Chains A and B, each alone.
Chain A
């Protein structure tokens, strides 16, 4: 029997078949196997491998195999939509992704590019980030570093969790009612950006809190023990140590709000050009998701293609942001203790 173990070159079904057919008498008569096995060509090797995977001898093994298949199929169904979306967008829209598509404004009958939407999305994210990121980072620093644990802290955390769960269309309606109408800002870049900021704040707040929580207490104590004030410790040690985590949260939330349509429908307006003012109708601004929505809802076939090209562009941008976020978080976690 011992020599069977040396036949590593053969698929294991071969071994098993030998094993099954061999009675104890036959085993002793088995000729010694040659150490050098004949090369098994690729196709046959694969076949042997598949057979080995499917080989079942008992009910327990059958059950094991069936469940393995069930899990594998579930996994395929889970990841399939992503690839279908990418493939579909690429088939319909890839041809439209030329440099001109990004650099020209839409012309008569919406022929032309999506420069308005690209610039608009960048401007909206700048406004949203410019307002939302400092507010939520500072708020998280206050909650984690300054406030005492207790009811108020719990209330703030609860509120931001609820805010994070509010459907984006509700945020959009709130942005319209509060920023556009009540504050009298009117539709445009500022209102759209502020409404996106409402969407960013809970995410950035919570990820910043998490990043701050990961910083060991002993780092803060080391700084305080050197005679640093609370503020110096927070700024030069705690935030610095938490920076990669904060940055990851910020990038992920930017990636997320880039693709939001609902908060913009009632707040940003739309435009075929680039905004020239920060107030009034001249500040109305297009965005990538809004443009996709507008083009998809239009019956003209060439706009369907443009919608897909725009969607592909948006997908690529969001993926790029996510990849950067991933890289930042991984690179810097390695550097910290």
Chain B
């Protein structure tokens, strides 16, 4: 038994961009092998919270943070932390599909190559398993060498999921993964997310309440940088404890 209870644990996290405080003292533990939805109106710090978990905020010059973020019990902002290894363990899918301008195959190979996989057969195996897990293999197996930007939006987004899965991360972050897609592609990806939670810990940002209720097991509600509510999704859906949460899920704010 490991010394940690959850893969991702956050203690008293506050962040700033320049003088502006974005997150205010957030403490939460994301359950393993479950989907956690982070809900909240625009500008409440959902994406910042997500990007703090894989240290993607570091590339923004005036970012500061206080508090601790633990991955498998290790502080990812600690002096020992290796940011490249950390990001291998925490995959990320973005709001806009963003395949690299190369072939479908090379998009999936990009990650494993970074982390030292050189063997061609091994790479091909990773390409196939990743695309299968992202439910894209049957659609692209005959056009693996076509440029990825030629795929449809929904296919591109599943390719991005496959690319994130290619380095076998235990945790997957998703920043509004379906909000730029048509309803049918969105439904496919929602189903995929539900399937993927068997093997991955998924943290998903969304501003769509219905989607959060459909997909997630746990939900967090952020409002103006504060963690207002964090509980089982079914509990929040039935009886929100805070009136701000209720206002949001009934559509009065947001």
Contacts and interface: CB of A to CB of B under 8 A. Distances in A.
Interface string A102-121: 00000000000000000000
A225 B56 contact: yes
Interface residues of B, number: 30
Contact of B115 (A227, A236, A237, A336): A227
Contacts of B160: 222
A17 B200 CA distance: 78
Contacts of B101: 219, 240-241, 335-337
A144 interface: no
A228 B116 CA distance: 11
A335 B149 contact: yes
B115 to A, nearest CB: 6
Nearest to A337: B149
B60 to A, nearest CB: 10
Nearest to B156: A337
User: Of A219, A222, A223, A229, which is in contact with the most chain B CB atoms at under 10 Å from its CB?
Assistant: A222
Interface in A216-267: 216, 218-219, 221-229, 232, 236-237, 240-241
Contact of A226 (B59, B61, B111): B111
Interface in B65-113: 84-88, 90-92, 94-96, 98, 100-102, 110-111
B167 interface: yes
Contacts of A223: 100, 110
User: Of B84, B86, B115, B160, which is in contact with the most chain A CB atoms at under 10 Å from its CB?
Assistant: B84
A42 B94 CA distance: 60
Contacts of A300: none
A60 interface: no
A148 interface: yes
B54 interface: yes
Contacts of B92: 221-222, 225
Query: What 3 pairs between A and B have smallest CB-CB spacing?
Result: A225-B92, A227-B88, A227-B87
5 contacts: A225-B87, A227-B86, A232-B114, A240-B100, A241-B100
Given A226-B110, A232-B114, 8 more contacts: A216-B98, A219-B100, A219-B101, A224-B87, A226-B87, A228-B110, A236-B110, A335-B150
Interface of A: 148, 216, 218-219, 221-229, 232, 236-237, 240-241, 335-337
